[in-house]
Structure formats: C-alpha cells, structure tokens
C-alpha cells in the first residue's frame, strides 16, 4: 500500500468514527427530547397542587437536559477531531440520562 493510500484509509476511518459519534449524540438528543416531553405530560396530568410544583420542576429539569443534549449533538457534528466528537457524544449521553431521571421523578409524583 502506498503512503497516499494509507493516508486516505486513515482519513476515511477517522471520518467514519466522527459520523458514528455524531449519530450517537443525535440519538441521545432524541431520547432526551422524548423524556422531556414525557415528563411535561406527567406534570400536566398532576392534579394535586401539593405535588404539581415538584412534577413541574422535574419536567423543567428534563427540558434543560434535553437542551444540553441537543447542544452536545451539535458540538459532536461540528467537532474537528474524533476525540472532541467522542467527548460531545458522551456529554449528550449523560444529558439523556439526566432527562430520563427527571422524567422518572415527574412520573413518580404524578398520580
């Protein structure tokens, strides 16, 4: 294999890895958005005023986490290096987890 072919193969491999990280980040952002929508639905269904505020705080937390996941997905797509894309994808995954936890909290207090 010539040096040009080796460099081309390396560049293609890095591009595929970056796409994979961006795809992972986008998937996490979609999951976080779904969790935020579910959390808001649970908060909207809460009839008891004593827990309505708690459910709404959880829904707001889920929405903030979904925003963070979307920002991380954008960063992963724009990342100049594979390492930066990987870190952004990890951040999106963590934000999705936070959104899921907030959704669970909203659903726990909703009747």
Cα 95 to the center of its chain, rounded Å: 5
What is the pTM assigned to this prediction?
0.79
Number of domains in the chain: 1
Phi, psi of 48 (to 5 degrees): -75, 115
Tens of pLDDT, residue by residue over 44-87, are 998 888 889 999 999 999 999 999 999 999 998 888 888 888 89
Range of the domain at 50: 3-109
pLDDT for position 5: 55
Cβ atoms within 10 Å, residue 87: 16
């Amino acid at each position: 294999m010539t040096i040009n072919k080796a460099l081309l193969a390396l560049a293609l491999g890095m591009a595929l890895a970056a796409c994979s990280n961006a795809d992972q980040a986008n998937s996490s952002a979609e999951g976080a958005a779904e969790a935020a929508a579910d959390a808001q639905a649970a908060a909207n269904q809460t009839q008891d005023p004593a827990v309505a505020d708690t459910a709404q705080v959880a829904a707001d937390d889920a929405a903030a986490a979904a925003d963070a996941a979307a920002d991380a997905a954008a960063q992963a797509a724009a990342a100049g290096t594979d390492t930066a894309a990987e870190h952004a994808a990890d951040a999106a995954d963590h934000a999705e987890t936070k959104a899921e936890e907030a959704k669970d909290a909203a659903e726990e207090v909703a009747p």
